[in-house]
């Protein structure tokens, strides 16, 4: 099979590799779509923290936002999975530790992460081997594009749920990238009045095109009571700004990750009686995200600007935009596409 492999910071190859074999408890999936994520771009540049913490190393195959069809099953796996359209959880806990046994496998200290951590190869390939226990079946109304948007959607859904909006509450999302826009969509579906803050005219214009009328730059955010503020950016100063902007008694949610340490003043947190929540992983939100896509509560397809083949992944990871790409923030990959 063909696969995209990062060999060092800024270096990559599209290789012909042996096709995976389903081990005990595993399946092999024919990959149909893969989303390119900011995490993948950090692996490309070498900035990803896991590389420096010993959790990841080159050569590696990224790709954790994926959908496809089960082509083979290993020993002990229900043969009913054969031929089913699926996506998969990125976080693969050990299954035996205290956190896993309490349903928190996404924060297991010994976890593997597909395409990210623990030498678990990712989905930027024609085929992928994953544990059957990580699979989530996709209904007919969730096509391959939507299926590959379930993983980022699960993260965003959890952030929107952490904001805990009541109908009519005002929520502000910092950062109109893929996650920020998905958070905004889920907040809107929950009945909140959604505001977005961004840095570029193009990103704000795209958000307006999705039906979000309240979009602002950092300098133009109106002085309004925000019942919840979600930081979905990678700016180190915005966690503190989120705390400044939220209403006393409100909630701040941190899902974005900056490239350097960011700080908040816990005196402000306490004196405003604010609830602060951090969100890592889509795992607890995957099934609800699939349902939201299936029934049309949220439609993230406009976020996908282009779909490329494996041979075009390198320039995308370097920050390039494919020729003819639309205005959305997400690039998808179809590994079956011919060079």
User: What integer pLDDT is reported at residue 163 of this predicted model?
Assistant: 98
Kindly give the pairing relationship between strand 214-216 and strand 226-231.
unpaired
User: What integer pLDDT is reported at residue 339 of this predicted model?
Assistant: 72
Token output for 21: 């074999």
Query: What are the sequence ranges of the domains in the chain?
Result: 2-149+300-333, 155-278
Three-class HEC string of the chain? CEEEEEEECCEEEEEECCCCCCCCCEEEEEEEEEECCHHHHHHHHCCCHHHHHCCCCCCECCCCEEEEEEEEECCCCCHHHCCCEEEECCEECCCCCHHHHCCCHHHCCCCEECCCECCCCCCCECEEEEEHHHEEECCCCCCHHHHCCHHHHHHHHHHHHHHCCCCCCEEEEECCCHHHHHHHHHHHHCCCEEEEECCCHHHHHHHHHCCCCEEECCCCCCCCCEEEEEECCCCCCHHHHHHHHEEEEEEEEECCCCCCCCCCCHHHHHHCCCEEEECCCCHHHHHHHHHHHHCCCCCCHHHEEEEECHHHHHHHHCCCCCCCCCCCCEEEECCCCCC
pLDDT for 93-116, tens place per residue? 999 999 999 999 999 999 999 999
- Return d(Cα 331, Cα 230) in angstroms, integer: 23
Over residues 2-30, mean pLDDT: 97
**Residue 121: is its pLDDT beyond 90?**
yes
**Residue 310: is its pLDDT beyond 80?**
yes
Over residues 222-246, mean pLDDT: 97
Class assignment of domain 155-278? alpha beta
User: What integer pLDDT is reported at residue 242 of this predicted model?
Assistant: 97
pLDDT for 18-55, tens place per residue? 999 999 999 999 999 999 999 999 999 999 999 999 99
Whole-number mean pLDDT of the chain?
96
- Return d(Cα 17, Cα 2) in angstroms, integer: 6
**Residue 260: is its pLDDT beyond 90?**
no
Quick check: bond before 59 cis, omega within 30?
A: yes
Same topology between domain 2-149+300-333 and domain 155-278: no
CATH homologous superfamily, domain 2-149+300-333: Medium-chain alcohol dehydrogenases, catalytic domain (3.90.180.10)
User: What integer pLDDT is reported at residue 259 of this predicted model?
Assistant: 82
Band of the pLDDT at 338, cuts 50, 70, 90?
confident
Band of the pLDDT at 86, cuts 50, 70, 90?
very high
pLDDT for 122-162, tens place per residue? 999 999 999 999 999 999 999 999 999 999 999 999 999 99
CA distances from 246 to 154, 191, 212, 228 (A): 24, 18, 20, 6
């Amino acid at each position: 099979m063909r696969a995209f492999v990062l060999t060092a910071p800024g270096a990559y190859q599209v290789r012909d590799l042996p096709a995976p074999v389903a081990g005990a408890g595993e399946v092999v999936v024919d990959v149909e779509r893969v989303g390119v994520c900011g995490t993948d771009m950090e692996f490309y540049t070498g900035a990803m923290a896991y590389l420096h913490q010993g959790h990841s190393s080159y050569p590696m195959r990224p790709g954790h936002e994926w959908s496809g069809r089960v082509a083979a099953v290993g020993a002990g796996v229900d043969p009913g999975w054969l031929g089913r359209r699926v996506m998969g959880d990125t976080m693969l806990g050990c299954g035996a530790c205290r956190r896993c046994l309490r349903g928190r496998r996404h924060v297991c200290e010994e976890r593997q992460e597909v395409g990210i951590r623990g030498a678990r190869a990712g989905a930027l390939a024609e085929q992928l081997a994953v544990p059957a226990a990580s699979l989530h079946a996709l209904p007919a109304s969730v096509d391959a594009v939507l299926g590959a948007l379930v993983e980022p959607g699960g993260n965003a859904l959890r952030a929107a749920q952490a904001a805990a909006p009541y109908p009519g509450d005002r929520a502000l999302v910092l950062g109109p990238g893929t996650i920020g826009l998905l958070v905004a969509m889920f907040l809107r579906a929950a009945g909140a009045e959604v505001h977005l803050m961004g840095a570029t005219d193009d990103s704000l214009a795209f958000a307006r095109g999705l039906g979000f009328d309240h979009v602002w730059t950092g300098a133009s955010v109106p002085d309004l009571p925000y019942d919840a503020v979600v930081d979905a950016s990678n700016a180190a100063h915005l966690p503190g700004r989120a705390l400044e902007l939220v209403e006393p008694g409100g909630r701040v949610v941190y899902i974005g990750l900056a490239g350097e340490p960011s700080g908040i003043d816990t005196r402000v947190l306490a004196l405003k009686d604010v609830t602060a929540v951090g969100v890592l992983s889509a795992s607890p939100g995957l099934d609800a995200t699939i349902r939201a896509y299936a029934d049309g509560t949220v439609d993230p397809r406009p976020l996908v600007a282009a779909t490329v083949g494996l041979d075009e992944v390198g320039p995308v990871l370097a920050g390039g935009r494919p020729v003819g790409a639309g205005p959305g923030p997400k690039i998808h990959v179809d590994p079956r596409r011919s060079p």
